[in-house]
Amino acid sequence: MTKTFKGRDIISIHDFSREEIEHILKVSKDMIPAARGEKRNLSLEGKILSTIFFEPSTRTRLSFEAAMNRLGGSVVGFSDPEITSLKKGETLADTIRMVESYSDVIVLRHPMEGAAKLAADFTEKPVINAGDGAGQHPTQTLLDLFTIWTEKKDIEDKNVVLLGDLKYGRTVHSLAYALAMFGANLTFVAPEVLQMPKEVVEHVERQGGSYTSTNALEDAIESADVLYVTRIQKERFPDPAEYEKVAGMYRVDNEILTNASKDIIVMHPLPRVTEISPEVDTTEHAIYFKQAFNGVPVRMALLALIFDVVK
């Protein structure tokens, strides 16, 4: 059964059942015309959303702001460069209690794991986690699921290849878990040192998910419906030499995509650097810009559900 969404915090993808996620996806689909500006929807008129970003993430913040504006609501907030209170040593708990009085819903991004959970302990207002360090980023996971679901009509039994930094990449951990919950077949493609951590694999197994691990992209994409590419981030590596070894290992270009089905979709949470060649952008496979847009209807759906203006 689905719990009510009214007033609910959105902290972790683990807080949602499959039925609840399916419901969010359906509502998201209904939001597309309003997300594109083709239809007016003022159901959150008079409501204020605050964006509290303790580290920069322009695209996530813009996506939330667009979603709130598309529903007729307003946005207040601050992001990284303006944060002076943090330097003065104000606790997150105090910041949240201050912000609570200015807004009806709080969107938080913070470098420490568990920050959103803590924030939710200190306010009655709903808190949406927009990323907490190496922890959770549930709205990214939902928009990724929504993209696969709308492009491929279903998630169950789809072959999904997750490629790149599977060790440190936060988005792929939550995504792997959620895809397993939906019964997708997973293939983890990464250099040995960046393979999926044990606890994530355990999570996938507990969901009854099937997966294989490999470092051979050519073979993995042959039967793939979805290729999900992530960036290998230099700053994660203590030793720059280690980074250089793996950085250029995978590059998705039109040549490698000749191994894949003509219907394969290529996804990426963005920003990309060199892991997807620009020549892919103009092919039917490239879905990543559409995926970024999908953040808007998905976040609109969550806001509408939290404020109980849709059922």
Site for other proteins in 95-114 (CB under 8 A): 110-114
Within 189-218, the residues that bind other proteins by CB under 8 A are: 199
117 binds other proteins (CB under 8 A): yes
- Collapsing DSSP to helix, strand or coil, 187 comes out as strand
> 136: phi > 0 → left, psi -120 to 50 → alpha, else beta; which?
beta
Q: How, if at all, do strands 265-267 and 105-110 pair? A: unpaired
Residue 93 interacts with other proteins (CB under 8 A): yes or no = yes
Least gap, CB of 112 to other proteins (angstroms): 4
Tell whether residue 184 is a contact of other proteins (CB under 8 A).
Answer: no
Give the tokens for residue 89. Answer: 């040593």
For other proteins, how many residues bind (rule: CB under 8 A)?
A: 20
CA distance 220 to 264: 12
Query: Which element (helix H / strand E) includes 280?
Result: none
**Binding-site member from 27, 68, 92, 220 for other proteins (CB under 8 A):** 92
Among 13, 66, 105, 115, binds other proteins (CB under 8 A): 115
Is the separation of the CB atoms in 18 and 149 below 8 Å? no
d(CA 161, CA 176): 10
How far apart are alpha carbons 122 and 127 in whole angstroms?
A: 10
Site string for other proteins, 36-75 (x = CB under 8 A): ----------------------------------------
Choosing from 12, 51, 230, 294, the residue that interacts with other proteins (CB under 8 A) is 12
User: Is residue 140 a contact point for other proteins (CB under 8 A)?
Assistant: no
List the one residue out of 152, 163, 281 whose CA is nearest residue 219: 163
Distance CA 220, CA 43 (A): 45
The minimum distance between CB 256 and other proteins, in angstroms, equals 35
As annotated, the active-site residues are: 59-60, 88, 109, 137
132 lies in the binding site for other proteins (CB under 8 A) = yes
Identity of the residue, 42 or 93, whose beta carbon is nearer to other proteins in the bound complex: 93
Q: Based on CB atoms, which residue is closest to other proteins, 15 or 242? A: 15
Task: Indicate if the alpha-carbon torsion angle 288, 294, 299, 302 is positive or negative.
Answer: negative
- The sign of the torsion formed by the CA atoms of 68, 59, 297, 37 equals positive
Separation between Cα atoms, residue 184 and residue 163, nearest integer Å:
15
What mask of x and - would describe binding to other proteins in positions 251 to 290, judged by CB under 8 A?
A: ----------------------------------------
**Binding residues for other proteins, per CB under 8 A?**
12, 14, 91-93, 110-115, 117-118, 121, 132-136, 199
